[in-house]
Amino acid sequence: MPYSAGEEMEKLVGLIYGDVGSTKFNFTVEDQSLQKFDYIALTHREGYVLAQVSDIKRYSDLSYDSIKALYGKNNIPKIVGGDLSAHAEVIGYRDERGVLQSPKTPFDVGQPVYKANENLIRHVLGLYADKKGGAYIGLLKGHDLPVYLSIDTIVQKHLCILAKTGGGKSYACGVIIEELMKKKVPVVIIDTHGEYVSMVRPNKNKKELENAKRFNVVPKGYGDQIVEYTPIARRGNAIRLTLNGVNLEAKEILDMLSAKLSGPQIGVLYQVVKDIKEFKQTYTIRDIIEALNLAKSNAKWNVIASLEALESTGLFSEKGISPQQIVKKGQCSIINLKGVPPDVQDIVVARLTKELFEARKSGQIPPFMLIVEEAHNYCPERGFGNAVSSSILRTVASEGRKFGMGLGVISQRPAKVDKNVISQCNTNIILKITNPNDLRAITQSVEGLTSDTADEIQRLQVGVALVAGGSLTKPIMVEIRPRETDHGGRSVTIISGEDGFKEYKPPKLPDEKVVKHVDVAQVEPPKKSPTKAEHVHRVANRLGWVSTATPDETIAILTKEAKKMKEDPFKYLQSLAKLGEKYCHEKDPNCIRCPMNEKCRYRLRKRR
pLDDT one-digit tens code per residue, 47-66: 899 999 989 998 876 677 66
Answer whether 602's CB lies under 8 Å from 586's CB.
no
Range 134-240+321-491 classified under CATH 3.40.50.720: no
End-to-end Cα separation, the chain, in angstroms: 92
What are 251's strand-pairing partners? none
Q: How confident is the model at residue 495 (pLDDT cuts 50, 70, 90)?
A: low
In the predicted model, is pLDDT for residue 432 greater than 60? yes
Contacts of 325 by beta carbon, 8 Å cutoff, 6+ apart: none
| Alpha carbon of residue 419 to chain centroid | 18
Distance CA 453, CA 472 (A): 16
As a whole number, mean pLDDT of residues 327-356 equals 93
Asked if the model's pLDDT at residue 340 lies above 70, the reply is: yes
Q: Residue 380 to residues 190, 394, 444, 597: CA-CA distances in angstroms?
A: 16, 10, 16, 89
Residue 513 has pLDDT above 90, yes or no: no
List the strands of the sheet with 239-240, edge to edge: 146-150, 134-140, 476-480, 464-469, 427-430, 159-162, 405-411, 368-372, 187-191, 332-336, 226-230, 239-240
Per the model's pLDDT, the better-predicted residue between 72 and 446 turns out to be 446
Average pLDDT over residues 278-288: 88
Residue 1 pLDDT exceeds 50: no
Determine contact, residues 327/333, Cβ cutoff 8 Å: yes
Neighbours of 230 (CB within 10 A): 23
Please name which of 274, 279, 280 lies closest in space to residue 292, comparing C-alpha atoms. 274
pTM value is: 0.76
pLDDT higher than threshold 90 for residue 257:
no
Sign of CA pseudo-dihedral 582, 586, 587, 591: positive
Which of 488, 591, 407 shows the shortest CA–CA distance to 202?
488
Instruction: Read off the DSSP letter of residue 417.
Output: B
Beta strands in 102-225 (DSSP E): 112-115, 134-140, 146-150, 159-162, 187-191
Distance CA 575, CA 580 (A): 9
| pLDDT at residue 405, rounded to an integer | 95
Tell me the per-residue pLDDT of 555-604, one tens digit each, with 9 for 90 and over: 888 888 888 888 887 788 888 888 888 888 888 888 888 888 888 888 88
More confident residue, 333 or 166: 333
Q: Is the pLDDT of residue 223 over 80?
A: yes
Is the pLDDT score of 6 beyond 80?
A: no
Above pLDDT 90, what percent of the chain? 40
Q: How far apart are CA 130 and CA 476, in angstroms?
A: 17
Torsion of CA 597, 600, 606, 607, to 10 degrees: 60
Query: Above pLDDT 70, what percent of the chain?
Result: 88
- Name which of 168-177, 370-379, 520-529 the model is least confident about: 520-529
CATH 3.40.50.300 intervals, the chain: 134-240+321-491
* Interval 522-532 mean pLDDT: 66
- In sequence order, what are the beta bridge partners of 159? 408, 427
pLDDT of residue 333: 96
* pLDDT for res 502: 57
DSSP secondary structure code for residue 202 in this structure: B
CB 92, CB 101: distance < 8 Å: yes
Distance between CA 306 and CA 268 in Å, rounded?
A: 13
Per the DSSP assignment, residues forming a β-bridge with 408 are: 159, 371
| CA 549/CA 545 separation, integer angstroms | 13
Point out which residues pair with 39 in neighbouring strands. Answer: 52
> What is d(CA 443, CA 434) in angstroms, rounded to the nearest whole number?
13
Average pLDDT, the chain: 86
HSE-CB for 187 with a 13 A CA cutoff:
31
Measure the CA–CA gap between 391 and 66, rounded to whole angstroms. 67
356 or 142: which leads in pLDDT: 356
- 3-class secondary-structure state, position 134: strand
Q: Is 433 helix (H, G, I), strand (E, B) or coil?
A: coil
| pLDDT for position 394 | 94
CA distances from 251 to 254, 263, 313, 385, 410 (A): 5, 13, 19, 22, 29
Task: Measure Cα distances from 548 to 22, 374, 552 in Å.
Answer: 64, 84, 9
Amino acid at 168: G
- Residues 224-251 pLDDT 10s: 999 999 998 877 889 999 988 888 888 8
Query: Which of the pair, 448 or 244, is modelled with greater confidence?
Result: 244
Confidence of residue 492 (pLDDT cuts 50, 70, 90): low
Alpha-carbon 147 to chain mean position: 18
Q: How far is CA 290 from CA 267, 285, 313, in A?
A: 17, 9, 18
Angle at 334 between CA 441 and CA 215, to 5 degrees: 70
Strand-pair category, 12-17 with 112-115: antiparallel
The answer to whether the beta carbons of residues 116 and 40 sit under 8 Å apart is yes
Closest CA to 404 of 370, 354, 446: 370
Number of H-type helices and E-type strands within the chain: 19, 23
CA distances from 269 to 90, 213, 247, 312, 456 (A): 62, 62, 14, 18, 53
Residue 277 pLDDT > 50, yes or no?
yes
- For 532-607, CATH gives 1.10.1670.10
